Amino acid sequence: MSVSLPDPGRMEGRTVVVTGGSSGIGRAAAVELAALGATVAVVGRSEQRTREVAEQIGGRAYLADFSRLADVRALAGRLLADLPEIHVLANNAGGIGPRAETVDGFDETFQRNHLAGFLLTHLLLPRLTETAASAPPMSVRVVQTSSAANIGARIRMDDLDTRRGPWMQGFRAYGRSKLANILFTRGLARRLSGTAVSTYAFHPGVVATRFGGFAPWTMLVKAVALSPEQGAAPLVRLASAPEVPAPSGNYFSRLTAPGPTSPQAGDAGLERALWSASEVRAGLR
């Protein structure tokens, strides 16, 4: 049985961290969440755009390049120093780009879309659980921006960096990273069972943003795409709704769950293997 997300709720007294908040869906979500009363920490790569958004909404700007895991660790340190409570972590940063390797030695698309958010979540999780102790039940959440591109993806544990096979303008690596977002969400929900922190992933729809600007095919897609404000609607509702009418770990396609996923999204063995490999890559063990 499918369920739909309720309308947004008021967010006075709540703090939200939005990565990828300097443009596109992240920017639209940051503006809307601030309008609902939230205190928003805007995380972005561009100093000018990130500060502009933060100034517009009365939030605080945080600069980090997710293609550098050292930046993610430094970001977590600043957030923990500045924010005594974190009610929602929106792992929204990411995109698709040409084949490239990060300074950490990993595929840039996979690192920016999955590994950086995986690391940031682990580093902020103690603060999230502390916040949940005095917040309404299940109102503290980790929200992950995924994509319908997960449906045709297949993760190979021996090729997480997509070094083998055709590059397909980055779409294979992108689809794998979006499937990894769902597996991470489900693994996190399992590990958070019995706590007051919940987690969800969502597909925003096909949205007209700066995403994938290097690839010619994106120009055709953007001609019929949703606005950033429409694409941000699932994120805003998952962050602000007093209750989410689906168990933790669910994946929403726009406003409805369960959304369609790759057959691998239900593979518990793959989820555990990816979790372990991500811990090693992120330097968590």
What was the pLDDT predicted at 148?
Answer: 97
What is the set of domains in the chain, with CATH numbers?
3-281 (3.40.50.720)
Asked if 168 contacts 215 with a C-beta cutoff of 8 angstroms, the reply is no
Enumerate residues 6+ apart whose C-beta is below 8 A from 145: 20, 25, 90, 91, 92, 94, 181, 201, 202, 204, 235
pLDDT 10s digit of each residue in the chain, 285 long? 899 999 999 999 999 999 999 999 999 999 999 999 999 999 999 999 999 999 999 999 999 999 999 999 999 999 999 999 999 999 999 999 999 999 999 999 999 999 999 999 999 999 999 999 999 999 999 999 999 999 999 999 999 999 999 999 999 999 999 999 999 999 999 999 999 999 999 999 998 765 555 555 455 455 568 999 999 999 999 999 999 999 999 999 999 999 999 999 999 999 999 999 999 999 998
Rounded Cα distance between 186 and 44, Å, is: 26
User: Which among 62, 174, 200, 251 is annotated as catalytic?
Assistant: 174
Distances (CA, A) of 50 to 22, 30, 44, 45: 4, 11, 5, 7
174 is catalytic: yes
What was the pLDDT predicted at 131?
Answer: 98
For residue 40 the two structure tokens come to 């928003």
What was the pLDDT predicted at 262?
Answer: 98
Rounded Cα distance between 95 and 12, Å, is: 31
What is the bridge-based pairing of β-strands 256-257 and 3-4? antiparallel
What was the pLDDT predicted at 217?
Answer: 47
What was the pLDDT predicted at 207?
Answer: 85
* DSSP letter (8 states) at residue 225: P
